[in-house]
Amino acid sequence: MAQTNLHMGVRSKDELLLWIIKCVAIIAAINSVPPPVEDAGGNRVLWKHGDDNYKPWFSSSRNLGSHHQIRVHRNVMEWSEIIWFSEAMPKFSFISWLAVRNRLSRADRTRAPHILCISYSYTLWTDLVGCFLPRPSPDWNITMNTLLSPRRNKVDSYMLRLAFQRSIYSL
């Protein structure tokens, strides 16, 4: 007797038997769930507001909102205040975020950590921040640490971060 494909890629009788056993188990699991009771009421949408706390309205509040209950929480990266701040321009922040995370397109990806080492970009960087930094560094890590330094007043800090983002965006 020639071997034929019995069902959905099953190549032998043993595989067919295992497939039938799995199907029977799935059907039994489905049948074990009781059907809805008409007296129980209709379906309704509930939003998660905490552990075992559901309410019929959506909340976007900082700690209790539905979004904060279902999202994956991660540690805040130290460079985030260089990228995300209220005075930043969204398009500059986004491109800078991609550069810091080394997620630029293939052509730019190899340049991201070395972006300030290129002659043109370093000249642009020194022209933009020369009045705020006496000796700007072309090194990515030194530049990031300099931008994170708490020694500057708010205006200078904003201007440096904006200049950093603008430099990356223009390259």
Confidence of residue 106 (pLDDT cuts 50, 70, 90): low
Residue 22 forms part of a structural domain? yes
Given the structure tokens 């995370």, which residue do they identify? 101
User: Is the torsion defined by CA of 55, 59, 64, 68 positive or negative?
Assistant: positive
Domain count, the chain: 3
Distance CA 165, CA 143 (A): 12
Least confident segment among 47-51, 64-68, 86-90, 115-119: 115-119
By residue range, what is the domain housing residue 51? 42-70
Distance CA 127, CA 123 (A): 6
Residue 75 forms part of a structural domain? no
- Do 9 and 65 share a structural domain? no
Confidence of residue 46 (pLDDT cuts 50, 70, 90): confident
Distance CA 117, CA 167 (A): 12
The β-bridge partners of 50 are 53
Q: Is the pLDDT of residue 108 over 60?
A: no
- Do 140 and 94 share a structural domain? yes
Confidence of residue 21 (pLDDT cuts 50, 70, 90): very high
pLDDT in tens, 111-159: 555 555 567 777 877 888 888 887 888 888 888 888 888 888 888 889 8
In this prediction, residues 40-66 reach a mean pLDDT of: 75
82 contacts 164 by C-beta, under 8 angstroms: yes
Distance CA 89, CA 99 (A): 15
Residue 30 forms part of a structural domain? yes
- Do 133 and 57 share a structural domain? no
